Amino acid sequence: MNMRSVTVESSIHARTLKVRDRVIGGVLIFFALLVYLAFAAAAAPETSSTFIMSRGGVVRGAMGDVVLPSRVVLTVVSVFLAVLGVALFAVGSRGRSGLFLLIGGAGLVFSFLVFVSFDKRINFASLFNSALTMSVPISLGALSGILCERSGITNIAVEGFMLVAAMVGSIVGSVTKNIWAGLLAAMAASCLLSLVHSWLSIRYKVNQVISGTVINIFSLGLTSYISSMYLQNIQALNKTPRFPTVSIPVLADIPFFGPVFFNNSLFVFGMIILVLIFNFLLFRTRWGLRLRAVGEHPKAADTLGVDVFKTRYVAVLLSGLIAGIGGAYFSLGSVGRFDEGMTAGKGFISLAAMIFGGWNPIPSFLAGVLFGFADALASAVSILGSPIPGQFINMLPYVITMVVLGGVVGKGVTGPASAGIPYEKE
Amino acid sequence: MNDPKELKPNENGKPAPGNVFLNESGRKTDKKEGWPRRIWSAVQIPVLAILSGLLLGAVFIVVTSANVYSAFGTGFGAGVREAFSTIASAYGALFEGAFGSPARIAEALRTGEKIERAFKPLFQSFVETTPYIFTGLALALGFRAGVFNIGGEGQIYIGAVLATLVGTTDLGIPPALHVLAAILLGVLGGAFWGFVPGWLKANAGSHEVINTIMMNYIALRLVEFLLTGPMTKAGSGGMPTSNNILDSARIPLVFPRPLTLHWGFFVAIAVAILAWFILFKTKWGFNLQIAGANKHAAKYAGLNVNVWMVLGMTLSGALAGLCGSVQVLGVTYSMGLGVSSGYGFDAISLALLANNNPLGCVLAALLFGFLKTGSRAMMSRTGIPLDIVSIIQAFILVFIAAPAIIRTVFRLRDESKGDSKVVSLSGLGGN
Q: Residue by residue, what is the 3-state secondary structure of A34-87?
A: HHHHHHHHHCCCCCEEEEECCCCCCCCCCCCCEEEEHHHHHHHHHHHHHHHHHH
Alpha helices in B145-207 (DSSP H): 152-167, 175-204
Residues A194 and A307 in one domain: yes
Residues A45 and A134 in one domain: no
Name every chain B residue with its beta carbon within 8 A of the beta carbon of A355: 210, 428
CA distance A250 to chain B (A): 42
pLDDT computed for residue B215 by the predictor:
92
In a domain? residue A42: yes
The neighbour count for residue B79, using CB atoms within 10 Å, is 18
> Which of B209, B346, B388 is facing A209, going by the closest CB pair?
B209
Amino acid type, B329: L
Residues A95 and A182 in one domain: no
Give residue B236's pLDDT band: very low, low, confident or very high (50, 70, 90).
low
Q: Which domain holds residue A384?
A: 129-406
The more confidently predicted of residues A71 and B328 is B328
B364-415 per-position pLDDT tens digit: 999 999 999 999 888 888 888 888 988 998 998 888 888 888 888 887 766 5
Task: List the single best residue of A149, A395, A411, A423 to mutate versus B (max B Cβ within 10 A).
Answer: A395
Closest residue in chain A to residue B385, using alpha carbons only: A225
d(CA A126, CA A395): 21
* Omega before residue A259 within 30° of 0, cis: no
pLDDT computed for residue B237 by the predictor:
65
Q: Given a cut of 60, is residue B234 above it in pLDDT?
A: yes
Sheet with strand A66-69: strands edge to edge? A66-69, A48-52, A121-123
In a domain? residue A412: no
pLDDT computed for residue B430 by the predictor:
31
Task: Domain count for chain A, please give it.
Answer: 2
The more confidently predicted of residues A400 and A73 is A73
The answer to whether A254 and A262 are in contact (CB under 8 A) is: yes
Task: Determine, for residues B391 and A222 on separate chains, whether the beta-carbon distance falls below 8 Å.
Answer: yes
Chain B segment 12-51 residues within 8 A of A by beta carbon are: 15, 17-20
Of A422-426, B54-58, B336-340, give the lowest mean pLDDT range: A422-426
Task: Determine, for residues B429 and A414 on separate chains, whether the beta-carbon distance falls below 8 Å.
Answer: yes
| ipTM computed for the complex | 0.82
Of A84-98, A152-166, A412-426, B262-276, give the lowest mean pLDDT range: A412-426
How is residue B233 annotated by DSSP? P
Q: Given a cut of 50, is residue B314 above it in pLDDT?
A: yes
> Which of B211, B217, B397 is facing A214, going by the closest CB pair?
B397
> Which of A224, A395, A402 is facing B385, going by the closest CB pair?
A224
Amino acid type, B286: F
Residues A37 and A161 in one domain: no
d(CA B303, CA B38): 34
Residues A56 and A138 in one domain: no
Residues 6+ apart with CB under 8 A from A385: none
Task: List the single best residue of A159, A171, A354, A398 to mutate versus B (max B Cβ within 10 A).
Answer: A398
d(CA A271, CA A364): 12
User: Counting Cβ atoms within 10 Å, is residue B316 exposed (0-12), middle (13-18) or buried (19+)?
Assistant: buried
> Which of B216, B393, B427 is facing A217, going by the closest CB pair?
B393
Compute the mean pLDDT over every residue in chain B, rounded to the nearest whole number.
82
Residues A209 and A320 in one domain: yes
The answer to whether A263 and A245 are in contact (CB under 8 A) is: yes
Residues A265 and A394 in one domain: yes
d(CA B9, CA B25): 15
In a domain? residue A413: no
The answer to whether A413 and A355 are in contact (CB under 8 A) is: yes
The more confidently predicted of residues A121 and A194 is A194
CA distance A209 to chain B (A): 8
Residues A202 and A312 in one domain: yes
The answer to whether B9 and B21 are in contact (CB under 8 A) is: no
Of A56-70, A325-339, B183-197, B202-216, give the lowest mean pLDDT range: A56-70
CATH number of the domain at A143, please.
1.10.3470
In a domain? residue A124: no
Of A65-79, A358-372, A410-424, B147-161, give the lowest mean pLDDT range: A410-424
Q: Given a cut of 50, is residue B431 above it in pLDDT?
A: no
pLDDT computed for residue A351 by the predictor:
87
First and final CA of chain B: distance in angstroms?
28
Q: Give me the mean pLDDT over the B46-54 stretch.
A: 88
Of A56-60, A232-236, B162-166, B386-390, give the lowest mean pLDDT range: A56-60
Rounded to the nearest 5 degrees, what angle is found at the Cα of A206, between the Cα atoms of A204 and A207? 155
Q: Give me the mean pLDDT over the B175-195 stretch.
A: 93
What number of CA atoms fall less than 13 Å from residue B155's CA on the CB side? 37
Q: Give me the mean pLDDT over the A166-192 stretch.
A: 93
Q: Give me the mean pLDDT over the B116-134 stretch.
A: 90
Q: Which has the closest alpha carbon to A364: A350, A380, A377, A345?
A: A350
Q: Given a cut of 90, is residue A316 above it in pLDDT?
A: yes
In a domain? residue A157: yes
Residues A228 and A276 in one domain: yes
Residues A143 and A57 in one domain: no
> Domain extents for chain B?
123-368
The answer to whether B197 and B212 are in contact (CB under 8 A) is: yes
> pLDDT > 90: what percent of chain B?
27
Residues A89 and A183 in one domain: no
pLDDT computed for residue A8 by the predictor:
60
A281-290 per-position pLDDT tens digit: 999 999 999 9
Chain A to chain B Cβ contacts (< 8 Å):
184
**For strand B19-23 and strand B420-424, is the pairing parallel, antiparallel, or unpaired?**
antiparallel
pLDDT computed for residue A5 by the predictor:
52
Closest residue in chain A to residue B429, using alpha carbons only: A415
> Which of B204, B213, B405 is facing A407, going by the closest CB pair?
B204
> pLDDT > 90: what percent of chain A?
32
User: Which architecture, in CATH terms, is B123-368?
Assistant: Orthogonal Bundle (1.10)
Compute the mean pLDDT over every residue in chain A, rounded to the nearest whole number.
85
Based on C-alpha coordinates, what's the Rg of chain A? 23
User: Counting Cβ atoms within 10 Å, is residue A362 exposed (0-12), middle (13-18) or buried (19+)?
Assistant: middle
Residues A62 and A36 in one domain: yes
pLDDT computed for residue B269 by the predictor:
94
| A48 phi-psi bin (left φ>0, alpha ψ -120 to 50, beta other) | beta
Q: φ, ψ for residue B424 (rounded to 5)? A: -85, 120
In a domain? residue A424: no
